[in-house]
Structure 1
């Protein structure tokens, strides 16, 4: 506020000084106001101040289980899911979308292995009913997506559609590691999930299982017992 007032005073002084000896022109109050506004606008632009124009924005999110992004959404990179091994008792708990073109570090002597590839752990068991493909022991792909027309991201567990005013990026099923293994984040895995490749390694690093509800402290209704958990990724 002080800086703006100072600029107005300086500008007014410049207009008065520059026009003090003017003989052929008699600037009206409206003309002087126009010159001042023009000077302020160009000065602020040159000085890096905001001109009131909207700034380019967007939001990023991970699409778990797919190699690409939805139509009309920019892909930052595609990769594979990684995370801590399911038998490790401590360390990182979140899944990571690892790029396919890493810039690798140097060898390390200490034994603290915490970054493994992730596998789908469902065939006839642990697969959500609405998921089309059996993918036991298949590695999990991912894509980091940039939605330039939105500015807020929200994953809603328990729904397959977004609330009014929000746009669906993709929908799927809530997944995480098995309940007796080490803790992991919940991830919304695309309902049309695909494998990373044709390899079936059964290496059991970080794992994805379909989960189900358990009534009790979870109120039923509105929820139902022992059902798949839907999810949807929404932007606004």
Structure 2
């Protein structure tokens, strides 16, 4: 662009010289003053052209420096964008790993039964189902020992079988667990927590040891010691509920409080004929 302007100026000067009339040309040849004036004018024009060329050269150099600076800035921005893209990819990978870890943790978990309650504790536990406590009949010598939590929606396939094993409902046979608990049928809730992988029932405690989280607490229960059927120890919630309509004395798998007996059981720390508490703890 600048070179074009210089060429244009030179052409313009040449054109101006050509326009001098023949008479003026004769004057230039015959008059030294006119010739000197013409030469001075040409020198002035050349001086202007030289100054213009220098200025244009300086402008070109400044523009070159500016362009180089802009190119450097563009390269820096491109580098910054690449770094940000790399950081974003790393963050996305980290998020995926964290989500995977959370899913893995949630897929572990563990379960427990909350006896004498229809719902799970409000501590991030999932209710698998709310059902009915059951087990073998208290007076049958061949009855199964454990208590079971029966679901509310059983599936049957066959319609008959040999009457060998038997399942009965669970029932309180005492007012110990609540003032109106006698003869009430016992509910249960199967609970799952994804915040733990281990669950224990601690007899004789209503709190958990350090590092363990309390799921619920209450009183230890079992069958009557004089009944011929074996039983097991379970933890009945401190605030028991009942199955609606289960007030008749139908017996079945019975729930009684459990008292400590001194002798081979050391007293202290235990106390004779004191009812045992219990706690269900997770970790």
User: What is the TM-score with the length of structure 2 in the denominator?
Assistant: 0.61
Correspondent of 1:116 among 161, 168, 182? 168
Report how far residue 99 of structure 1 moved: 0.5
Partners of 1:143 and 1:133 in 2: how far apart?
22
Cα deviation code 1:129-150 (max 9, x no counterpart): xx44421111100000011111
Note the 1:1-236 alignment, pairs <5 A.
53=101, 55=104, 56=106, 57-71=108-122, 72-123=124-175, 127=176, 131-181=177-227, 182-236=229-283
8 Å contact kept, 2:143–2:230: no
Structure 2 gaps of 5+ residues are 1-92, 94-99
Residue 199 of structure 1: how far off its partner (Å): 2.8
Q: What's the offset of the Cα at 1:221? A: 0.2
User: Higher strand fraction: Structure 1 or Structure 2?
Assistant: 1
On the 8 A contact 2:143/2:165 being kept in 1, the answer is no
How many residues in Structure 1 have an aligned counterpart in Structure 2?
184
Between the aligned partners of 2:258 and 2:185, the Cα distance in structure 1 is 18
Deviation at 1:110, TM superposition (A): 1.6
Q: What is the root-mean-square deviation of aligned Cα atoms in Å? A: 2.1
Bigger RCO (CA 8 Å, 6+ sep):
1
Q: Calculate the TM-score normalised by the size of structure 1.
A: 0.73
Greater fraction helix? 2
| Worse-matched range after superposition: 66-75 or 131-140 | 131-140
Max Rg structure:
2
